[in-house]
Amino acid sequence: MSNETKTNADGSINAGGDTNNNTKKDVSKGSNIITPRSQDYSEWYLDVIKAADMAEYSPVKGCMIIKPTGYAIWENMQKELDARFKETGVENAYFPMFIPERFLNKEKEHVEGFAPEIAVVTHAGGKKLDEPLVLRPTSETIMYDTFSHWIQSYRDLPLLINQWANVIRWEMRPRLFLRTVEFLWQEGHTVHETEKEADERAREMLEIYRDFAEEVLAIPVILGVKTESEKFAGAFKTYCVEAIMQDGKALQFGTSHHLGQNFAKAFDVKFLGRENTMEYGWQTSWGVSTRMIGGLIMTHADDKGLVLPPKIAGVQVVITTIINNDEDRDLIIAKAQEVSSWLKEEGIKVKIDSRDIRPGEKFYEWERKGVPVRLELGKKDLANNTLFMARRDTGEKTSISADDVVVTVANTLEAIQANLYDRAVAYRKEKEKVVDTWEDFVKEIEAGNFVHAHWSGDAGVEAQIKEETAATIRCIPFDQKMEDGVCIKSGKPSKGRVVFAKSY
């Protein structure tokens, strides 16, 4: 973690840069403070976060401070997802962050999966506690103990609960947004009458994640099922959304678990069925986290900094004023405000930057922060009734008519959203390889690719491949083609290809 701690030691980028004019000199020089991807990808990732002023490491090892620019993205993510969840009947609630240790021990696979990562409170209120309390790594156990009291009969089902919360998993190799000891997430938990209904719900929520990833974040994803070795501790099946990052590594964007009746049996989540018999509930849980912000960065950002898809950007358009002498000031600012009000009326999120600093300094700042469209307005523009427009994604610059600004900007925002998605799809295509020999497999994995290859379903072979290449099976894709083949490693018969990659 030598790369990551650098940020912590430095930790000197200003917060609230948007409103407080507090750009620091070394940052304001422009994009040259960002290590190019080609030179050092990990360093580039951290540099982008720093240059866009999104987050930094905290004095507590492994924990991060999400700064206003980063947190605004999280707020937008929450807003978009929360509305989609609620549309399907899900309601929000809040459960304690403390879990009695005995709860965690009730589902065997679950405790084995999480035991190495838990943090425990042993002392509180000046005393040693009778029973240690675990800080939630996820809330299945505490929620399902309660659900067992809430549910009496089939009429109480489905129960559809979501929670926005912080969770704790003791990570020894932290990386901003991708892997931190404390992170923010949502965790949905549902109980159903039948296996079929639970499975449909798990897939429905996965589809919401896909839609959000592709339509809002412009991140193309692969949907599928995890293998037994990779599934969630205690789940019956884990569905997942996987994305390809710019270094060819996979990022698990979100997961949706069909839990079967495993937890229901451990926590006595029973109901009186339609046939008057007591039955165990069928359950799902599903979650996405602040890790999505890492995925957003590693999908779209470039060597100049962050690049935000318009649909997730807190600021979609920034109007920067170019004021060379005091007499023009009022007129230029008045025009900027007029243009801003036109754009706002169309629901476009716009910000005026009329700070008295060098124009270049302002341009670079918004470039680093990934604002999709920058409009510049100076004395000449005023005379010509024009604005100068720069696209963040392509760098393209054009002079546009002030009269058409609303339509031009709206179209440009749409074009940027589409372009970012298309670019990511093209990248994914380039990175997806179909191989049939072990030699090719090793070569493509080492080249940082997503590899479609045959595998017989043998967990021992899966483990061996992981040990030798660091690649894991990301998923058995939903669109898997049924075809006879032989396992890339063992030569045993296989009925279809699965997706291998190295991952975050």
Which residue lies nearer to a second copy by CB, 99 or 307?
99
Contact between 135 and a second copy per CB under 8 A: yes
Contact between 75 and a second copy per CB under 8 A: yes
Write out the binding residues for a second copy, residues 372-431 only, by CB under 8 A. Answer: none
Residues whose CB is less than 8 angstroms from the CB of residue 408 and which lie 6 or more positions away in sequence, other chains included: 389, 400, 401
Contact pick of 3, 71, 84, 352 for a second copy (by CB under 8 A): 71
Which residue lies nearer to a second copy by CB, 24 or 196?
24
SS (H, E, C) 470-481: CCEEEEEECCCC
Residues whose CB is less than 8 angstroms from the CB of residue 99 and which lie 6 or more positions away in sequence, other chains included: 133, 134, 135, 136, 139, 141, 142
Contact pick of 5, 40, 105, 172 for a second copy (by CB under 8 A): 172
What DSSP string describes 196-220? HHHHHHHHHHHHHHHHIIIIIS---
Contact between 444 and a second copy per CB under 8 A: no
Contact between 359 and a second copy per CB under 8 A: no
Which residue lies nearer to a second copy by CB, 24 or 429?
24
Contact pick of 156, 204, 215, 303 for a second copy (by CB under 8 A): 156
Task: Using the rule CB under 8 A, give the single segment among 37-45, 60-68, 105-113, 429-437 that binds a second copy.
Answer: 60-68
**Do you find a cis peptide bond into 493, omega within 30 degrees of 0?**
no
Give the Cα separation of 471 and 450 in Å (integer).
Answer: 9
Contact between 348 and 413 (Cβ < 8 Å): yes
To a second copy, the closest distance from the beta carbon of 316 in angstroms equals 17
Contact between 173 and a second copy per CB under 8 A: no
To a second copy, the closest distance from the beta carbon of 145 in angstroms equals 6
What is the C-alpha R_g of the chain? 25
Q: Report H helices in 129-272.
A: 140-150, 195-211, 262-267
To a second copy, the closest distance from the beta carbon of 158 in angstroms equals 7
Residue 6 has a CB neighbour count (10 Å cut-off) of 15
Contact between 5 and a second copy per CB under 8 A: no
Contact between 28 and a second copy per CB under 8 A: no
Contact between 24 and a second copy per CB under 8 A: yes
To a second copy, the closest distance from the beta carbon of 147 in angstroms equals 8
User: Residues 83-112: x/- map of binding to a second copy (CB under 8 A)?
Assistant: ------x-xxxxxxxxxx--x---------
List of E strands, 17-62: 55-57
**Geometric angle at alpha carbon 172, from 166 and 177, rounded to 5°:** 45
Which residue lies nearer to a second copy by CB, 71 or 438?
71
Which residue lies nearer to a second copy by CB, 289 or 408?
289
Query: Do the bridges between strand 497-501 and strand 450-454 make them parallel or antiparallel, or are there none, so unpaired?
Result: antiparallel
Contact between 120 and a second copy per CB under 8 A: yes
Contact pick of 48, 104, 142, 473 for a second copy (by CB under 8 A): 142
To a second copy, the closest distance from the beta carbon of 139 in angstroms equals 11
Q: How many residues bind a second copy (CB under 8 A)?
A: 76
Contact between 100 and 62 (Cβ < 8 Å): no
Contact pick of 40, 112, 117, 396 for a second copy (by CB under 8 A): 117
Which residue lies nearer to a second copy by CB, 167 or 476?
167
Write out the binding residues for a second copy, residues 287-346 only, by CB under 8 A. Answer: none
Q: Torsion-angle region of residue 43: left (phi > 0), alpha (psi -120 to 50) or beta?
A: alpha
Task: Using the rule CB under 8 A, give the single segment among 148-156, 260-268, 411-419, 480-488 that binds a second copy.
Answer: 148-156
What's the full length of the chain, in residues? 504
Contact between 126 and a second copy per CB under 8 A: yes
HSE-up of 32 (CA within 13 Å, CB side)? 5
Q: What is the DSSP letter of 116?
A: G
| Residue 11, helix vs strand vs coil | coil
The residue written with tokens 């190295």 in the block is: 502
Contact between 272 and a second copy per CB under 8 A: no
Contact between 118 and a second copy per CB under 8 A: yes
Long-range Cβ pairs for the range 354-362 (8 Å, 24+): 354/320, 354/321, 354/323, 355/21, 356/323, 357/21, 357/23, 357/28, 359/320, 359/322, 360/30, 361/23, 361/28, 362/320
Task: Using the rule CB under 8 A, give the single segment among 12-20, 202-210, 256-264, 388-396 that binds a second copy.
Answer: 12-20
- Determine phi and psi for 323, rounding to 5 degrees: -120, 115
To a second copy, the closest distance from the beta carbon of 361 in angstroms equals 13
Contact pick of 3, 58, 194, 456 for a second copy (by CB under 8 A): 58
Contact pick of 151, 322, 323, 339 for a second copy (by CB under 8 A): 151
Give the Cα separation of 377 and 346 in Å (integer).
Answer: 20
Contact between 66 and a second copy per CB under 8 A: yes
Give the Cα separation of 281 and 195 in Å (integer).
Answer: 9
Contact between 198 and a second copy per CB under 8 A: no
Contact between 21 and a second copy per CB under 8 A: yes
Contact between 11 and a second copy per CB under 8 A: yes
Contact between 26 and a second copy per CB under 8 A: no
Contact between 125 and a second copy per CB under 8 A: yes
Contact pick of 4, 18, 199, 444 for a second copy (by CB under 8 A): 18
